[in-house]
A and B are shown apart, each in its own frame.
Chain A
Amino acid sequence: MALYNEKVMDHFRNPRNVGALEDANGVGESGNAVCGDIMKVYLKIEDGIVKDVGFETFGCGSAIASSSMATELIKGKPVEEALELSNKAVVEALEGLPLRKVHCSILAEEAIKAALEDYYRKQGLPIPQKILDYKPAVEEDH
């Protein structure tokens, strides 16, 4: 058996939405270099819709695949839906990650939440309770 399933490898080899967005109006980051993963998410939100999304990731195969899948899941969606994105949804869409790589999906959720928070701040809008209450899921085996 390979380290990752085909779906994860596809998103790792051909990441969707890779790269910074010059006209982003919400940017967020998660992780740190010492742990070996950093994700940066760029959002272009218009009329309450995530019109465009981009990411940059320093990290392992599952970190890149998680960034790709997470950005894919919120692209074109209303902001309210993007707010609801959970790391579980990312893992499910990737058809599973090895247990010790689940933290990569948590980083993806964190980066998106951070980018949304940045968007609300820049717009002078109140930060939704969902973000204020957000605590990253407990990372297993990390």
Chain B
Amino acid sequence: MKIYADNAATTRMSRRAIEAMIPYMEEVYGNPSSLYSIGQEAKDALESARETVAGCLGCSPGEIIFTSGGSEADNQALFSAASAGERKGKKHIISTAFEHHAVLHALKRLEKEGFEITLLDVSGSGVVSPKQVEEAIRPDTCLVTIMYANNEIGTIQPIAEIGRICREKGVTFHTDAVQAVGHVNINVKDENIDMLSLSAHKFHGPKGVGALYCRKGIPLLNLIEGGAQEGGKRGGTENVPGIMGLAAAMQEACDKIDESAAHITPLRDRLIEGLERIPHSILNGDCKKRLPGNVNFCFEAIEGESLLLLLDDKGISASSGSACTSGSLHASHVLLALGRAVEIAHGSLRLSIAEDITQEQVDYMIKAVDEVVAYLRSISPVWRDLQEGKREFILK
């Protein structure tokens, strides 16, 4: 059985998204900045895509700029808000300890440039409280940036409440919604969001294209200087096929958000219940306030990379927060922020399922993970020490 269970990393493109792109490579390949017909046709398509995206988010088309993806959108949002804050002498930014690196590393750079960064604690449930945000806001706070849903553990943050607080206090509010768009209903006006980042490949669109929503009146700084594209806020010829794929995928995902969630959520819960039966394991993040497709566990006394390789042998594509799988040899900052011990964070597994998941596949995954964990424990000296009482269990 082949199961792709890493939809938080990227998704399979939808047929509708692929078909939406093809004409803009083969026929309407003109540059949207050109005045002749196929240029203007491309321009019209681009603007219709902008309307689609704006419609899905509940904003106006002029508030959307297309980017190369979520990371670029995050960077532009953060550097823009910081620069606007600095002009007013406000150099304090609030975020959380478990943001995506696109946000955390941008914040690190701002810190070096003299900004003060407050990272809110998310330990325990992986959900920040609106009260924490309210208490952290100071007169010199220029930006609150909090992710909509976490990329590793899928926990959904109380964005509407945080948005209301920020609006009341007059602080710009950005949310990295890369994991949430197309999976949960979002309305930027109702939720008082000033800036929002999204990425097409997380909802069955193409890679290398995303968007930044920026509320009218919030100043934007260019990351890429160039021509007058995107209202002069992002130079470079627009990725028209990619943008058409993004819009088609977003419309499709948003049209069936409730239907998809109704299908995926019970299967996610079945998967969680199945994995919870493995002794000395724990679900990471709140069990209710989480994305419909996210399951993330830690298993004591095993290491994540071995787990992934053996699951791959069984046809399952998954991911882990283990140091060995990170490329940086550091355990997941998200799991550490939750309060997991480092040795436990090494034994983590993320299964992120999509609309095509079946109960049969869920049951197969439960059995496969159970077998692989049991095998790896059987050859683990840590497991032996735990069994012989030479080491204390961390996960009861």
Contact = CB atoms under 8 A, between A and B. Distances in A.
Q: Do A and B bind each other?
A: yes
Interface of A: 3, 9, 12-13, 15, 18-20, 29, 33-40, 56-61, 63-64, 100-101, 141-142
Interface of B: 301-306, 309-310, 313, 322-325, 329, 331, 342-343, 346, 379-384
Nearest to A36: B346
A36 B343 contact: yes
B306 A29 contact: no
A56 B384 CA distance: 9
Contacts of A36: 303, 322-324, 331, 343, 346
A105 to B, nearest CB: 14
Contact of A38 (B313, B329, B381): B381
A61 B309 contact: yes
A58 B329 contact: no
Nearest to A20: B384
A58 B322 contact: no
Contacts of A39: 381
12 contacts: A12-B309, A34-B343, A35-B323, A36-B303, A36-B322, A36-B323, A36-B331, A56-B379, A60-B306, A60-B325, A61-B306, A61-B324
B115 to A, nearest CB: 31
A57 B381 CA distance: 6
Given A18-B379, A60-B322, A37 B303 contact: yes
Contacts of A61: 305-306, 309, 324
A39 B236 CA distance: 53
B348 to A, nearest CB: 11
A12 B306 CA distance: 8
Nearest to A39: B381
B329 A59 contact: no
Contacts of A142: 329
A58 B383 contact: yes
Contacts of B304: 60
Given A19-B379, A56-B379, A60-B303, 4 more contacts: A33-B346, A59-B324, A60-B325, A101-B324
A142 B326 CA distance: 13
A80 B226 CA distance: 68
A38 B309 contact: no
Given A12-B306, A58-B301, A60-B324, A100 B379 contact: no
A64 B306 contact: yes
A142 B303 CA distance: 17
Contacts of A18: 379
Contact of A56 (B303, B324, B343, B380): B380
A56 B381 contact: yes
B323 A57 contact: no
Given A13-B313, A36-B343, A57 B329 contact: no
Given A34-B342, A36-B331, A36-B343, A63 B381 contact: no
Given A34-B343, A36-B331, A36-B346, A60 B305 contact: yes
Given A13-B313, A100-B329, A142-B329, A38 B382 contact: yes
A59 B322 CA distance: 10
Contact of B302 (A19, A35, A58, A100): A58
Contacts of B384: 20, 40, 56
B322 to A, nearest CB: 6
Contact of A57 (B309, B310, B379): B379
A61 B381 CA distance: 15
A81 B310 CA distance: 33
Contact of A29 (B301, B302, B381): B381
Contacts of A9: 309
A63 B323 CA distance: 13
Contacts of A3: 309
A135 B128 CA distance: 46
Contact of B329 (A33, A56, A141): A141
A141 B323 CA distance: 13
A86 B313 CA distance: 31
Q: Which 7 A-B residue pairs are closest in the complex by CB-CB distance?
A: A60-B305, A33-B343, A60-B324, A40-B381, A56-B381, A36-B346, A58-B380
